[in-house]
Amino acid sequence: MRRRLNREGQAGTAYAGEVRSPDESKRKSLSSLRNRIARAAGRAAEGMDLNADSALQAAQATLDWAIRHRGPDSFMAIKAKSELAHQLERSGRYAEAVELRADVAAQLRSLLGAEDPSTLTAEGLHAIDLDRLGQHMEARAIFEQVLAGRTDALGVDDPLTLSAMVWLGCNLRRLGDLDESQRILESAVDGYEQLGAGMTEECTKTRSHLATTEFEMGHVTEACEQRRRIVSVRTETLGPDDPATLSSLENLANTLQRLDEVDEARLICQSLLERRIRLLGVDHADTERTRGVLVALENGAGPGL
């Protein structure tokens, strides 16, 4: 569940004799609901963190049971192995997860065939972990295979094909092939927009990856326009205080610094700092980082800080 808060973080109090319009009352009720949802989401996230070890132990126990009672090649065991890999990833234990992902992909390839959608998804998850571990060339070969398989089976504009394009595009950026990364990520953004999904978080994340590639290419003006669009979409779809929206504002401010648009970057950082103090507190790492950037801007730091 994504966290959502209203702009002010509180419902506010009407003065005596003040008359609220129906629209204003609805907005305040919605803001209050967003606050409650945000607090509940925070408690849930804390609970997930506290129970990470328990979840990992439960996943291992489920896999052990499935192997004993259903066999190591049963779909129940394969599903349990995939869940254990997910829990290992949550714990940052990618070297262990990647071995399980490889086993799952190999088993599904044997049982269902190399072109089955479930096999291709398992291959993609395996490649993601390889990429995380720095094995970019090995991951690239798998990402290319997954993209080709999904394109043949589903078509170039299917959402699963577009996801495979994003995986490959990000991998190519890590390998330093920025031109090809840009081409593929642009195609993925176009694909989402043609599907009418230009306002979805999937498209927005893809646009963010594209902006990063453009930034690394030195196309800072283009990256800045992408990041303005991201802030606009996330403010509308997630809310102005959603963590993803705030991260997008931080990225936009950094890009504006590189363009030497210091005044606008400073205004964004001031707003971002106020929100993070209200939402996270004065001592949170994100708050301190934003404060440091703002101080540097106010002291006349140049672009590229």
Domain spans of the chain, in order of start: 218-305
Whether residue 36 is predicted with pLDDT greater than 60 in this model: the reply is: no
Q: What are the tens digits of pLDDT across the range 226-254? A: 999 999 999 999 999 999 999 999 999 99
Whether residue 296 is predicted with pLDDT greater than 90 in this model: the reply is: no
Distances (CA, A) of 290 to 29, 273, 277, 278: 30, 6, 10, 13
Percent of the chain exceeding pLDDT 70 equals 82
Lowest mean pLDDT across 34-43, 127-136, 232-241, 285-294: 34-43
Q: What are the tens digits of pLDDT across the range 247-265? A: 999 999 999 999 999 999 9
Lowest mean pLDDT across 3-17, 110-124, 276-290: 3-17
pLDDT (0 to 100) of residue 301: 56
Higher-confidence residue of 86 and 50: namely: 86
pLDDT class of 33 with cuts at 50, 70, 90: low
Cα separation of 213 and 24, whole Å?
42
pLDDT class of 31 with cuts at 50, 70, 90: low
* Type and span of the H or E element at 35: helix 22-50
Q: How many C-beta atoms lie closer than 10 Å to residue 92's C-beta?
A: 10
Give the orientation angle of helix 243-258 with respect to helix 201-217, to 10 degrees: 20
Mean pLDDT, range 258-284, rounded to an integer: 94
Whether residue 6 is predicted with pLDDT greater than 50 in this model: the reply is: no
pLDDT class of 131 with cuts at 50, 70, 90: very high
pLDDT (0 to 100) of residue 11: 32
Q: What are the tens digits of pLDDT across the range 165-178? A: 999 999 999 999 99
Fold of 218-305: 1.25.40
Higher-confidence residue of 230 and 46: namely: 230
What is the reported pTM?
0.79
Whether residue 278 is predicted with pLDDT greater than 50 in this model: the reply is: yes
Lowest mean pLDDT across 76-90, 206-220, 285-299: 285-299
Contacts of 154 (CB under 8 A, 6+ apart): 117, 160, 161
Cα separation of 302 and 257, whole Å?
7
pLDDT (0 to 100) of residue 297: 87
